[in-house]
Amino acid sequence: MSRKLLIALEAIDGVGKTTVAQILAQLMGAEYVKTPTADIYNQRHYYDQCGDPLVRFMFYLNSNLITSRYIAPILEEKPVVCDRYLVSTIVFHQAMGVDTSIVDVDRLPILKPDFYFCLQAEEKVRLERLHSRGVLSDTDGQIDLLRRADKLLPQYCTQVIDTTYITAEEVANIIYSTVS
């Protein structure tokens, strides 16, 4: 039996990625998976604050390996829509100055998505969305990091979709028509 589709939505915060992923999963009858998965999510805060981007990169890379093992049996039964995956890990850490080429990701025992979709939105709209959620303060250079990561994302994706002026449902339908 061949495995079902694995679709990864990659994006920085504030573009509607999670909402789109959930809608798309429902449209496709797919499993929605957010990374890092619940079993290691609580550890994430330690690595986010550890101060060493390379150690943080290794944690998130490992979380992708764990996610891959988690979704493998699901893909035997139904498609999976992944809310961030390997591309986000690579891009965010490149934006932090990590030389991610120290790991040959092609040799990792990790499931490769059939499609990587990059969602982007105009910065003003993204920042408004983040401020409305109360999750953004630029005391730690977060906005600059998001800018750098956003510029890197498209080179790794199958398709880039601008979510600035369209609804999450419209974005999900664009992706659905692409993968169907």
Please report which residue ranges of 35-167 form alpha helices under DSSP H.
38-41, 44-49, 53-75, 86-95, 123-133, 142-152
What is the residue-level pLDDT of the chain in tens, covering all 180 positions?
Answer: 588 999 999 999 889 999 999 999 999 999 999 998 888 888 988 898 888 999 999 999 999 999 999 999 999 999 999 999 999 999 999 999 999 999 998 999 999 999 999 999 999 998 888 888 877 655 456 888 889 999 999 999 989 999 999 999 999 999 999 999
Q: What is the pLDDT of residue 139?
A: 45
**Residue 70 CA to its chain's centroid (Å):** 16
Among candidate residues 17, 83, 82, 88, the one with its CA nearest the CA of residue 56: 88
The CB density around residue 39, as the number of other CB atoms within 10 Å, is 11
Both tokens assigned to 41? 């999510």
Q: How much is the pLDDT for 140?
A: 53
Q: Which residue in this structure is represented by tokens 């504030």?
A: 14
Q: Using CA atoms, how far apart are residues 49 and 121, in angstroms rounded to an integer?
A: 27
3-state DSSP call for residue 81?
strand
Amino acid at 10: E
| The domain defined by 6-179 carries CATH number 3.10.20.30 | no
Q: How high is the pLDDT of residue 138? A: 53
Asked if 94 and 152 count as a contact pair (C-beta separation under 8 A), the reply is: yes
pLDDT of residue 26: 98
Q: Is the dihedral of CA 127, 131, 135, 138 positive or negative?
A: positive
pTM of the model: 0.91
Query: What is the maximum alpha-carbon separation in the chain?
Result: 51
